[in-house]
Amino acid sequence: MVAGKDSIPTISHVIFLKMRLEERLASILPGLLLDIDDVSYIQHNDKRNSYLYTICAMILDCQSNQIKIYCTPDGFDRKDGDEWNFLENSDLEEYKAGMYMCKCLSGM
């Protein structure tokens, strides 16, 4: 948060990309799956949503159809279940900077 002229806090421009596991799996990996300072670093490789799915699946040693990825609308972390938007595993849509959560489907 950055204080404005009138001391009203405003959200600064988010350029990072961070991804964590869902809370129920935090004991497996309590830190972040991905912690990229500037999203353009990773977008240089591929901007498609499916790329994030591929990276997470490789880290978790699973198939990309065994996970779901969610992001927050403002780029800040939230509790699981609060204001997370589903990120479609798509070659047609592009991911943006922000906070992401990787949710493992049953069987993992």
SS3 of 83, please? coil
* pLDDT given at position 3: 43
Of 50, 75, 60, give the one whose Cα is nearest residue 28.
Answer: 60
* pLDDT given at position 30: 79
* pLDDT given at position 11: 45
Domain of 36, in residue numbers: 14-104
Tally of domains in the chain? 1
pLDDT interval class at 107 (50, 70, 90)? low
* H or E, element range at 55: helix 49-60
Has residue 4 been placed in a domain?
A: no
Q: What residue type is assigned to position 106 of the chain? A: S
* pLDDT tens string 35-94: 999 999 999 999 999 999 999 999 999 999 999 999 998 888 998 887 899 999 999 999
* pLDDT given at position 10: 39
Question: How far apart, in whole angstroms, are the C-alpha atoms of residue 75 and residue 98?
Answer: 4
Has residue 74 been placed in a domain?
A: yes
The CATH number that applies at residue 70 is 3.10.20
Residue 4: pLDDT over 60:
no
Has residue 6 been placed in a domain?
A: no
Has residue 83 been placed in a domain?
A: yes
Has residue 7 been placed in a domain?
A: no
* pLDDT given at position 72: 92
* pLDDT tens string 8-22: 443 458 899 999 999
Has residue 76 been placed in a domain?
A: yes
Question: How far apart, in whole angstroms, are the C-alpha atoms of residue 82 and residue 34?
Answer: 21
